Structure 1
């Protein structure tokens, strides 16, 4: 009987991947949450996760459980509208699974919690601070050469050649049957597919591409404008610098708070059971 109990205890113990204040998170519970989150949010594909990714997720999951508990103590809440807005803007796919919704709620609560903590913090946005940050991270304020492209879809090659001819003449193209005019957008030159770049006679303002065959038709592009790459001037970079400093400060404040709160929690991981 004692031997049987020992076997049962070993089996149950082996299933535990983490403990949080006595609450056991089993391998089964973790896999349900992880697999759901992985497929629904992270990859939306059959890419197989690595052991390292699973370990990082487990640590993140435990930290979010702590955030959920602490946020409740602080009276912080999340509305359904906030959850739906988060899903719409940051996830892009419909989410119904409760474990994933809980993770999303914890993400929103983390930001609310940091907002409250930041009320007591001072952020240095002095000219000297901004200038020092800019000089130290100067290379990170480089922007690549970019082109503003207008794309026009045509139903067949003959129509596409006519569109190209009119674009070369500087004429405006209007939508009609067999022709769709896209919205002009900026793209970094390095991000343009080779198939697009090689169909331009030259990468210069006003240049029009040869028709590019795609499924169901042809695309013709015109370069409406071009910006050469370089370092963003300090005055223009100021808003970006402030955002970066604020983001780093928020991370620092949350980390400090979390490490302090963590003292009240007993956390243990059983990596061998993942």
Structure 2
């Protein structure tokens, strides 16, 4: 019995020692920038990670390359984050959210700008994980939808406002004068001259090409569609717009090609009607009202917001301050 009791005491001693060693060897959890709160906006945290990412955006750098910023950069970045937080809070109040399909559509849109695997490579170079990037993308979409909801309910444009804007703005021509152009491209200047002479003599372009090409290859033909003066090279626009429908340009040498340009039709410019101009005018007025309304809403929210800032952390992040 005595030996059993000793064995229990010895095991207990070993267990106590092991627990002691474990407690001594366990390191405190590593604090990351995502754990450090630099400000609170109506109780919602703004983290050091978010602030550094915003400073990086201002500096045009990747977040991993940023350790400090100038006082104006830090101030601007923090203000953006405070405003963003207030917009997101309003979005929550209005029940706005981002669905998985919306997020996937945005991710797909970004991927389309990169070759296969290019997005992941770029994020890796910037020290950003895919999960973190998707989270940022979701927040960006949520902010956009929330801001649109705020601005949308603050702006309304009446029919009379659209008509007044239409009366006050300079009249536009819609569309600008255009000509229907066909380009004939030849191997030699001689072939081009023969075809041009037949067209000027009254042959149709197709007949002129058939007779004028002779034994040589037929020209390549490109239908360029309706073009405005701005669509054409300056050295060609004056000549082509001076031609009547059915006219042919001089023989034009450009690089290694020899061409004739045919004017096959014309659309005259005319004054834009109210019905044609109204959609664009309405959108312009709405955009201006939304921006003005959003700025007013933000100023009011900023005045009422409870914003608490950790000045000591900002000082550490600001260049030239200790």
> Is contact 2:196–2:260 with CA below 8 Å preserved after alignment?
yes
Deviation at 1:147, TM superposition (A): 1.5
TM-score, length-scaled by structure 2? 0.48
- Counterpart residue number, 1:125: 158
Structure 1 segments unaligned to the other structure (5+ residues): 1-18, 35-54
> Is contact 1:157–1:218 with CA below 8 Å preserved after alignment?
yes
Max Rg structure: 2
TM-score, length-scaled by structure 1? 0.55
Pick one of 204, 207, 222 that aligns with 1:181: 222
- Counterpart residue number, 1:70: 88
- Counterpart residue number, 1:32: 61
- Counterpart residue number, 2:168: 136
> Is contact 1:201–1:209 with CA below 8 Å preserved after alignment?
no
- Partners in 2 of 1:183 and 1:116 — Cα distance? 44
SS at 1:200 equivalent: helix
- Partners in 1 of 2:308 and 2:244 — Cα distance? 62
SS at 2:240 equivalent: coil
> Is contact 2:155–2:289 with CA below 8 Å preserved after alignment?
no
Q: Cα–Cα, structure 1 residues 183 and 199, in superposed 2: closer, same or farther, change >3 Å?
A: closer
Residue 177 (structure 2) pairs with residue 146 (structure 1) = yes
- Counterpart residue number, 1:195: 235
Q: How many residues align?
A: 226
> Is contact 2:97–2:142 with CA below 8 Å preserved after alignment?
no
- Counterpart residue number, 1:246: 286
Pick one of 145, 170, 176 that aligns with 1:112: 145
- Counterpart residue number, 1:234: 274
> Is contact 2:154–2:290 with CA below 8 Å preserved after alignment?
no
- Counterpart residue number, 1:79: 103
SS at 1:150 equivalent: strand
SS at 1:207 equivalent: coil
SS at 1:124 equivalent: coil
- Partners in 2 of 1:154 and 1:229 — Cα distance? 29
Structure 2 segments unaligned to the other structure (5+ residues): 1-37, 40-45, 64-71, 210-216
- Counterpart residue number, 1:39: none
- Partners in 1 of 2:300 and 2:264 — Cα distance? 54
Between 63-72 and 115-124, the greater mean CA deviation after superposition: 63-72
What root-mean-square deviation, in Å, do the aligned CA atoms of Structure 1 and Structure 2 show?
5.1
Deviation at 1:134, TM superposition (A): 0.8
SS at 1:232 equivalent: coil
Deviation at 1:116, TM superposition (A): 2.4
Q: Cα–Cα, structure 1 residues 257 and 93, in superposed 2: closer, same or farther, change >3 Å?
A: farther
> Is contact 1:206–1:224 with CA below 8 Å preserved after alignment?
yes
Deviation at 1:109, TM superposition (A): 5.3
Deviation at 1:32, TM superposition (A): 1.9
Q: Cα–Cα, structure 1 residues 196 and 64, in superposed 2: closer, same or farther, change >3 Å?
A: farther
- Counterpart residue number, 1:49: none
